[in-house]
Structure 1
């Protein structure tokens, strides 16, 4: 719409405003700014005259600028983060206490946690907090289940909700052997801690062997990513066999001697356990299961399982202990499978200061590789999943989108310029913007911490379509002087810089000042788009300067190879 309307609106408005300015005799000069602009223009033109006349100098400038910007991008590009979490006014935690805790012990832990944080309740001390005081809690809850405990709070001041995390962590994890998460739920994740958690899956056929490897990995992770520095760890399921379990191991030789198959033996036990489904019948128009059940009232203790009756084919009634071995032991509180194999997952949530990519490198290089080098048991595998998979997938898609954006911009310019060479010169301004975007994010981190997440990475994709505009102005004006005005190569390039330096900085400054509020002004949601704005502002700023430095020497090197100098210029 703007492209269709501006060619009619701008000339009319310009005519009206310029006539009014003449009649009012308004001053047309800005002190200091105009003097600096004229000085900068003279320096840019003088530089252009030097590089277009000396091909060796032009080549050195191009190689130097491209090498420095590429090296700076490589050295200062931060590690990747998946998505920003936002600042939701809710802190919630999932806590796994040691197995075997009864209701009385869990109730005591809940009271201790409640007493520890009671001084921070609004109902106890009022809603206001001193400058050096922790935020007040408007709501608090503690819910205990058989194997998992949930704890959470809501802050009176929504902007300080994140400060409640250490307040809850200290009393919750005071109990030895306790694992879990306490975090703000992510705006982009459903599970608690799922916004930026990494899963280390330990997979194998034997649960006890898998648990042994999981205990070793847990010790290594706790040393590399200690809880005292804000890192959190939660095993799924627990690392101990804490649920009472009765295991019955049939003796195949005794079963054969007494004419009882393993299937008959197991079905008899099912009948005395929770019932054996025989068929589905209809009673009063309703379909119900016909279930065969034994007399369970006669089994009042665990040892009674030894005396359950098994009827052989000859009619003899034998106790279970005569055909099998009954063992009272412990089992897992939860059975977890991945790809039909027993799995223990260590869910790691790094501190906010550690990017996900760095945490993944730590787990891969200093945990998984060391365990593999020491030798894993037969059949045991290690893999990263969860947000780690999402980050890798998002990065691959983003790189594909970035390459596609560059290719589309290049082809569009190739059609407009009717050449494949000049669009290539223009596309070289994109890496310069990348270095500026990295620099803009670095400057932002001097004032407030911000990770290089996927939303911030979109700023680099946006830059592809913006920064090429300055180079297009220079290349187009150069070709206009060369083809229409009959100038020489050198004069065309120098005159293009002289004529287009003002439009370049006018468009760049308007874009920069339009994006600055995203970076400079705090407020609700600013943590989501602040990084994107800093990348765009930094990329535009550096690109505007370096475009004037690299496009003229590139044109001087290439124009003589693809263009014929006009006879008038000769």
Structure 2
């Protein structure tokens, strides 16, 4: 819309009637607008093939932007010309700066009028940005911490607590403490809450009526609601939108595997304490808990007595299961449902009563269970977790919000994993998973998608301009925008912590679709003027004179539109803060330096091909009247 209206106004200033200006002005820019629209949509095509959480977020974003851009060009070439032709007054408009920006155009042409100057600008604006991107690239992260205006608290109970004891001593007290806030007797008032408890642990969550007081609720939940329970660990934090119960999308898992249970639990507990020391404020959990040993009853078979009774170990195992939770015999299908068939004996409350349970042997004798097995009580793990068929304890750590995932992984690799590996027994294994794996995978995928987007852009430009050279000129403006995006991120980092997360990465792809539009407008207008018989210098001068106003206006609208989101985002838009900073920095820097890079590239490449050149900007003053 800016390009169409700018061209209509320019022609109106040149003396055309409103209808003539609307028709001619729209007709002149339609090819360039279609090219820029197609490229803007095309750069998002690789994003649509992403999967998992990232694909869902990016696909929605890409689809929304693509539809908006497609509809905008329809309005720009239909509604806008009709409105301009009918609403603009017939009197001649006067421009305060003539036909475009001649003074600035002349200066740019003088700065790029020799081969050394052209090579200097190209080296400075292509090589230096790539080097700056490598040096100043922010640390990588996975997904931004998206809060959901709720406080979640996680419990680890002492071993041996039965469900009845958990409900009576933990659950009832939690309800009692939450009720005054639920009724509004204490502030902040709660909207709702839930409690989910089980032997060994639990979680509770609560929402406030006034979401601006979520920080107060976190303090109350941490210092009041979850305190005072003997031998119980509790951790309260604001809930994450990306992530499940007990972890966020940024959580890193460290799998410790060993057949030596005691050594495994000891190293896991030392690892948990080490992680809490290295990452203050981080949420560190062990699964299963290293101190969750509980009293268990062990059945030790007496093989000689079992053989005398006419059984084997498998048969005795079935008998013990029958006397306990029950032995599974099979299923019964009633025509609609499958029902399990469980054989279960009468419940026996003590180990002594279980040992006296009478059993009938195959030869008809009756012997107590204690004759074929020995029952012992011992301490054992409340939960056994296996990964790849090996006993495993997993340490899960959510890095602090002010630490990027890349820095956290580097600290783990250098200062945590070597310490734990040295303490594990022989034959043990240790490896990282969770966001550590996902970050490496998605970063490689995003790099491939960015390269694919550039390839799609290059091929489209080559087809539209019917020139590989012009397509290359457009694509070579991308490095300047990349360094602009990084400058925007670094500037934002001075006032708020902002790593290079995945949503910020998508901002670079969006920015490519935006900044190439400026190059398309200039290259397209330059080639049109050359086809009309003008020299290259005259054509570049016309293109810059006639397109600078639209380029500057679109740059300002893009930058000023994204600036509020980067500087002062709302609660729902804070995840797009880095994306907005990339767009602001990219469009501004690319607009400034592309005005020097594009003329240098076009003039240098034309010299290689032996095209005639009219000399310099001195002929530009005569080119403007001829274009009119």
Say whether the fold is shared (TM-score over 0.5). Answer: yes
Displacement after TM superposition at 1:542 (Å): 1.0
The reply to whether residue 404 of structure 1 matches residue 457 of structure 2 is: no
Is the contact made by 1:410 and 1:423 (CA closer than 8 Å) also made in structure 2? yes
The reply to whether residue 272 of structure 1 matches residue 336 of structure 2 is: no
Q: 1:104 to 1:270 in 2, by over 3 A?
A: closer
Provide Cα deviations, 1:110-151, integer angstroms capped at 9, x if missing partner: 7887899999777335x5xxxxxxx56555665543222323
SS in 2 for 1:150: strand
SS in 2 for 1:244: strand
Structure 1: stretches of 5+ with no match in the other structure: 128-134
Is the contact made by 2:484 and 2:586 (CA closer than 8 Å) also made in structure 1? yes
Q: 1:557 to 1:51 in 2, by over 3 A?
A: same
Which residue in the other structure is 1:246 paired with?
A: 297
Query: Which of 73, 77, 88 is residue 148 of structure 2 equivalent to?
Result: 88
Q: 1:392 to 1:74 in 2, by over 3 A?
A: same
Query: Which of 173, 177, 200 is residue 147 of structure 1 equivalent to?
Result: 200
Displacement after TM superposition at 1:79 (Å): 2.6
Displacement after TM superposition at 1:246 (Å): 1.5
Which residue in the other structure is 1:74 paired with?
A: 134
The reply to whether residue 556 of structure 1 matches residue 603 of structure 2 is: yes
SS in 1 for 2:239: coil
Which residue in the other structure is 2:58 paired with?
A: none
Q: 1:179 to 1:545 in 2, by over 3 A?
A: farther
Q: 1:529 to 1:295 in 2, by over 3 A?
A: closer
Which residue in the other structure is 1:50 paired with?
A: 111
Displacement after TM superposition at 1:108 (Å): 6.1
Displacement after TM superposition at 1:543 (Å): 0.9
Is the contact made by 1:88 and 1:161 (CA closer than 8 Å) also made in structure 2? no
Q: 1:77 to 1:356 in 2, by over 3 A?
A: same
> So what's the TM-score if we normalise by structure 1?
0.80
Which residue in the other structure is 1:187 paired with?
A: 241
Q: 1:548 to 1:266 in 2, by over 3 A?
A: same
Give the Cα–Cα distance (whole angstroms) in 1 for the partners of residues 221 and 109 of structure 2. Answer: 62
Which residue in the other structure is 1:131 paired with?
A: none
Provide Cα deviations, 1:375-420, integer angstroms capped at 9, x if missing partner: 6434433233334444444333333322222111110001122222
Give the Cα–Cα distance (whole angstroms) in 1 for the partners of residues 475 and 363 of structure 2. Answer: 89
Give the Cα–Cα distance (whole angstroms) in 1 for the partners of residues 234 and 440 of structure 2. Answer: 25
Is the contact made by 1:440 and 1:535 (CA closer than 8 Å) also made in structure 2? yes
The reply to whether residue 161 of structure 1 matches residue 202 of structure 2 is: no
Provide Cα deviations, 1:20-64, integer angstroms capped at 9, x if missing partner: 554xx8x754xxxx79x96xx6456324323331x2332232222
Query: Which of 444, 462, 474 is residue 426 of structure 1 equivalent to?
Result: 474
Give the Cα–Cα distance (whole angstroms) in 1 for the partners of residues 405 and 294 of structure 2. Answer: 34
Provide Cα deviations, 1:408-440, integer angstroms capped at 9, x if missing partner: 111000112222222222112222212222222
Structure 2: stretches of 5+ with no match in the other structure: 1-70, 620-628
Displacement after TM superposition at 1:530 (Å): 3.3
Query: Which of 484, 487, 493 is residue 532 of structure 2 equivalent to?
Result: 484
Give the Cα–Cα distance (whole angstroms) in 1 for the partners of residues 302 and 222 of structure 2. Answer: 50
SS in 1 for 2:548: helix
Is the contact made by 1:199 and 1:346 (CA closer than 8 Å) also made in structure 2? yes
Aligned CA RMSD, in angstroms, stands at 4.0
The 5 Å alignment of 1:374-413 reads 374=422, 376-413=424-461
Q: 1:294 to 1:501 in 2, by over 3 A?
A: closer
Displacement after TM superposition at 1:288 (Å): 7.2
Which residue in the other structure is 1:438 paired with?
A: 486
Give the Cα–Cα distance (whole angstroms) in 2 for the partners of residues 364 and 541 of structure 1. Answer: 39
Query: Which of 402, 422, 428 is residue 353 of structure 1 equivalent to?
Result: 402
Which residue in the other structure is 2:585 paired with?
A: 538
Is the contact made by 1:482 and 1:566 (CA closer than 8 Å) also made in structure 2? no
> So what's the TM-score if we normalise by structure 2?
0.74
Which residue in the other structure is 2:381 paired with?
A: 332
Displacement after TM superposition at 1:158 (Å): 1.0
Q: 1:354 to 1:242 in 2, by over 3 A?
A: same
- In the alignment of these two chains, the number of paired residues is 543
Moved more, 527-536 or 99-108: 99-108
Give the Cα–Cα distance (whole angstroms) in 2 for the partners of residues 6 and 293 of structure 1. Answer: 77
The reply to whether residue 60 of structure 1 matches residue 120 of structure 2 is: yes
Is the contact made by 1:272 and 1:293 (CA closer than 8 Å) also made in structure 2? yes
Q: 1:563 to 1:248 in 2, by over 3 A?
A: farther
Give the Cα–Cα distance (whole angstroms) in 1 for the partners of residues 371 and 392 of structure 2. Answer: 35
Give the Cα–Cα distance (whole angstroms) in 1 for the partners of residues 342 and 506 of structure 2. Answer: 61
Give the Cα–Cα distance (whole angstroms) in 2 for the partners of residues 516 and 530 of structure 1. Answer: 9
Give the Cα–Cα distance (whole angstroms) in 2 for the partners of residues 156 and 164 of structure 1. Answer: 11
